[in-house]
A and B are shown apart, each in its own frame.
Chain A
């Protein structure tokens, strides 16, 4: 079976996110008021073959742990969509 994993990776809450801080300055300059705590993360889409959704889930978990996220600075979550 083919699956699509939609992975969200975010900087850890306790860490300052300079990218988010810079981006909110841009929003403020555009005239947006009352906007706060903008944080920038990553969205990864990954297609994979697996015998079951459990197997697909385990593969995605492993990919996230080994390469796609760094637990020291980031957290991740994902959803799986069956493609056939």
Chain B
């Protein structure tokens, strides 16, 4: 599988993601620029974390209209794989490729720490190889509070489109294990076609043995067996 990682002005996790895919997972990766108008034949496109366009107006709102996004939307509509991490997730909701929105954390603070998340479905290429346990993955965001109206929430849950939920170390879901106020502890979701993914935590920051945590590798490896 050929991966593409898009750099927007203000992206800051693009290099980490490229390193992880190339060095830790041995995959072919190209770096795409937000002004590009083709995806260079990539099968899987990543929108990385960061602060695209300075988070001005709303997180992800301006990046959503970068020239490359026309291609990303076309790719997704053809069934191509797209995943947004953190700011990438915010961009995908602004682009209406994923439901809902990421609003200000209810904690009145930027949260930067390791959190525990548990797979909520086996039925996606991102989660199908994962065990039924809590995975430790870092978050770093001020606007990661997943919100949508009740009808949309019901649809997402009825269609088994929640990827992970925040939990404690033992995998128990509680209000205390929710770092940002996300509805029903939702960490990330997929679309109806199950080819577009968004999540706030950063698997690429937990993917190298030198960091003493490779829980992120298991998620990214799951993508490889398509």
Contact = CB atoms under 8 A, between A and B. Distances in A.
Interface in B47-102: 57-58, 61-62, 65, 94, 100-101
Given A15-B147, A16-B181, A70 B101 contact: yes
Interface stretch (B103-111, B120-128, B185-193, B215-223): B103-111
B158 interface: no
Contacts of B58: 70, 73
A67 B65 contact: yes
Interface residues of B, number: 18
B151 interface: no
Interface in B121-159: 147-149
Interface in A7-39: 11, 15-19, 21-22
A68 interface: yes
B88 to A, nearest CB: 17
Contacts of B57: 67-68
A72 interface: yes
A73 to B, nearest CB: 5
B148 A72 contact: yes
Contacts of A19: 104
Given A70-B101, A72-B149, A18 B61 contact: no
Nearest to B65: A67
A36 B117 CA distance: 36
Interface string A35-77: 0000000000000000000000000000000011010110000
Count chain A CB atoms within 10 A of each CB in B58, B101, B104, B147 and give the residue with the most: B104
Contacts of A67: 57, 61-62, 65
Contacts of A17: 104
Contacts of B181: 16
A18 B106 contact: yes
Nearest to B101: A72
B162 to A, nearest CB: 17
Contact of B100 (A11, A18, A72): A72
Contacts of A68: 57
**A11, A15, A17 interface centre (most CB from chain B within 10 Å):** A15
A4 B61 CA distance: 23
Contacts of B62: 67
A36 to B, nearest CB: 17
Contacts of B65: 67
A21 B101 contact: no
A72 B147 contact: yes
B105 A18 contact: yes
Contact of A21 (B94, B108, B147): B108
Contact of A22 (B94, B100, B101, B108): B108
A73 B108 contact: no
A27 to B, nearest CB: 15
A15 B108 contact: no
A70 B94 contact: yes
